[in-house]
Structure 1
Amino acid sequence: MANAIDPSASMAALFGARVRRLRTAAGLTQAELGARTHVVSTRITQIERASGAKPTLELARALDAALGADDLLAELWPYVYREAFPDWSRRFMAYSERAVGIREYAAHVVPGLLQTEDYARAVLGLDALLNDEEQLEERVAARMGRQERLGSPDRPELCVILDESVLRRPIGGHGVMRKQLARLLDAAEERHITVQVLPFDQGGHEAMGGSLTVLLLPDGSEVAYTEGSDYGQLIEEPTNVSRYKVIYDRLRAAALPPLMSLDMIRSTMEGNYRGAHVPSRSERRRVAQEQLQQSGGRQLRGGGRRVPGRRPRP
């Protein structure tokens, strides 16, 4: 067919080919499908030809409903959406989806994998290039979708270091922030998630320019990713990745042990942070030494206190 689009050319082309096949099987014209999904027929033409604006998540769901596609198009949508990002950003997201270990330092906001929906909406809504409310909701949905892997059988080990400023900045207001801090406390109860806080009193460090992520891949290789307010960089060359691994290890050594970090998060959530006790460096060293001297019993986390036994995962 003269106007046929190669579905292997892009995810948008694959999406369009699926819509065309489903529409034809349903015996609908483009105008009829447009009427059922409340868009003009030319919008259906654009989707099938992978031209013009990419479909929104709302439209993908409407097409699923109209064509009886059992969420096929909504499941394809995140991959279509991702094509709008730069190549290096898409590669990083692809690496993240199959990483067996994620180590992240967050300089400004809670990492996306641990964000609540309201907090994510508040963070993403700060983008000056955001077009409208619909685009914002698409981004929120995509971010929430990426979190599903933390509950899957192939979930990665996640180690997060939060700069103290992440706790102190009430993004979205105090109500949103309180729920976000509670989410961090809940997440830290999972065996595969560790949360630490890097307090202000540690002074300057090598990652002050932005956030840092190191990914461990199934084949044992690693990649790193650095990000600021308006830039991102994927690092794949092993020598440079090793340099960022050292930076991350230094940050982790300077951060509060996990249990002390959770105490600090809890104090912030309760609104009494300014009067809360932040352990001195000597106290941190003492706690670390006590932890090393512990043996046997249940798992120890950071501060040397025993973690109550948890029920096995179903």
Structure 2
Amino acid sequence: MSVDGEAVRLRGEADEPGWEVDPDDEWGVAVIATVGRQLKLRREAVGMRVAEFGAAMGYGEDLVYKIEGGKRIPREEYLDKADEVLGAGGLISATWEDVRKVRYPKKVRDLAMLEAKAVELLSYGSHNLHGLLQTEEYARALLSTRRPTLSEDELDLALAARMARRTIFERTPVPELSFVQEEVTLRRPVGGRMVLRRQLEHLLQVAQLRHVEIQVMPTSRGDHPGTGGRIQVLKFADGTAVGRADDEFGNRPVSEPRQLRIFELRYGVIRAEALTARESLIFIEQLLGET
């Protein structure tokens, strides 16, 4: 599980409608291989050679071979175009429902799945705003700072994956969401002044939700137990939980009660040291006025 720095490292090419398959993602590999096989069988059934099909699609033979061979994840527009070219009557377009479920890296899918099941989320962020709190333009600007630099294809996919997780705010029943953010994460002008302004406005809107609590940790409070980095705990309806911290247990997800108690203890102290939710709203409003 990752907090808000999840790595999306698919090697997509900007001029090709798809991304390479992660060989370590067994389910994803199986799904994309099946879709590729269906495309090949459909093409052969209508008597089209790869070169002819590629020309009709508007893409090169190499891409057609990669997608049919299960080496590249097709985008929705590729499947729709193939459906039209092959006269499949919507059957190829329908495979997007399966592709859509595996287009993001397994690590990101696993995180989204955990968030979708959580009844409570506790998150302390020391360097960046939590991914669930980011606006699209702020997230794009933040992801653009990655090194090695993401291609446009990779950037679009990483952004889509992050934005898709925001459905957590619309779930029924709603989960309880608690965020503590270091002051610096609200001041850093990621993307420029106007992007930051709209991000702060978004935080004020999110903070109005009854099941969301956003607190700010002032920089002046330098001796709290969050100096080691991010902390996150996700709790589930069956009483289990999973947590992660930058400086504990090798930055690995943990689920043992004894280990989780350490995270919850630290988060409790951090939460108590931070500004209250009401004070934090006033603080963010003041920052907005200064920006």
TM-score (structure 1 length as normaliser): 0.72
Whole-angstrom CA distance in 2 between matches of 1:118 and 1:36: 35
Mark the CA change 1:17 to 1:75 in structure 2 (over 3 Å): closer, same or farther: closer
**Percent pairwise identity:** 29
2:144 touches 2:150 (CA, 8 Å); kept in 1? Answer: no
Alpha-carbon distance in structure 2 between the residues aligned to 1:220 and 1:234 = 17
Question: CA contact under 8 A between 1:207 and 1:247: conserved in structure 2?
Answer: yes
- Whole-angstrom distance in 2 between the partners of 1:38 and 1:70: 17
Matching of residue 42 in structure 1 with residue 62 in structure 2 = yes
Given that residues 212 and 225 in structure 1 are in contact (C-alpha distance below 8 angstroms), is that contact kept between their aligned partners in structure 2? yes
Match for residue 12 of structure 1? 29
From 183, 186, 200, the equivalent of 1:164 is 183
The Cα shift of 1:240 comes to: 0.9
Name the structure 1 match of 2:209.
Answer: 190
Equivalents in 1 of 2:225, 2:276: separation in Å?
A: 20
From 73, 80, 91, the equivalent of 2:96 is: 73
The separation in 2 between residues aligned to 1:269 and 1:71, in whole angstroms, is: 45
State the 1:30 CA deviation: 7.1
Q: Could you say which residue in structure 2 is the equivalent of 1:210?
A: 229
> Shift of the alpha carbon at 1:260?
0.7
Call closer, same or farther: CA 1:43–1:70 in 2, change over 3 Å.
Answer: closer
| TM-score normalised according to structure 2 size | 0.77
Select the residue among 78, 82, 100 that pairs with 1:63: 78
Q: 1:126 to 1:241 in 2, by over 3 A?
A: same
Kept after mapping to 1: 8 A contact 2:37/2:69: no
How far 1:19 sits from its partner (Å)? 4.2
Distance 2:148 2:228 in 1: 22
Per-residue deviation, 1:94: 3.4
> In the superposition, relative to structure 1, how do residues 72 and 267 fare at CA in structure 2: closer, same or farther (>3 Å)?
farther
Residues 98-148 of structure 1 show CA distances to partners (whole Å, capped at 9, x for unaligned) of 211111011111111111001000111111023312211111111111112
1:98 maps onto 2:98 in alignment:
no
Contact 1:99-1:218 at 8 Å conserved across structures? yes
1:167-212 per-residue CA deviation (whole Å, 9 max, x = no partner) reads 1111111100000000000001111111111112221222212211
Deviations 1:71-116 (A, max 9, x none): 6526634534213x4xxx7644432232111110111111111110
Structure 1: state its 5+ residue gaps. 1-7, 273-314
Q: Report deviation, 1:48.
A: 3.6
Q: How does 1:217-232 map to 2 (within 5 A)?
A: 217-227=236-246, 232=251
> For structure 1, which segment, 66-75 or 173-182, has the greater mean C-alpha deviation from structure 2 after superposition?
66-75
Contact 2:118 2:237 in 1 (8 A): yes
Bigger mean CA offset, 156-165 vs 21-30:
21-30
Residues 202 and 9 of structure 1, relative CA distance in 2, 3 Å threshold: closer
Mapping 1:131-142, distance limit 5 Å: 131-142=150-161
Match of 2:86 in 1: none
Using the alignment, how far apart are the partners of 1:199 and 1:213 within structure 2? 19
Provide the rounded CA distance (Å) in 1 between the counterparts of 2:227 and 2:287. 22
Contact 1:123 1:171 in 2 (8 A): yes
User: CA shift at 1:62, angstroms?
Assistant: 1.6
For 2:165, which of 146, 149, 154 is the aligned residue? 146
Corresponding residue pairs, total: 254
CA contact (8 A) 2:240 2:255 kept: no
Give the conservation status (yes or no) of the 8 Å contact 1:61–1:74: no
Matched position secondary structure for 2:216: strand
Structure 1: distance between partners of 2:94 and 2:194? 34
Equivalent AA in structure 2 for residue 82 of structure 1 = P
Q: Which residue, out of 105, 122, 140, partners 1:82?
A: 105
Secondary structure of 2:252 counterpart? strand
Query: Which deviates the most, 73-82 or 116-125?
Result: 73-82
Distance 1:147 1:11 in 2: 23
Partner of 2:194: 175
Residue 121 of structure 2 aligns to a residue whose secondary structure is: strand
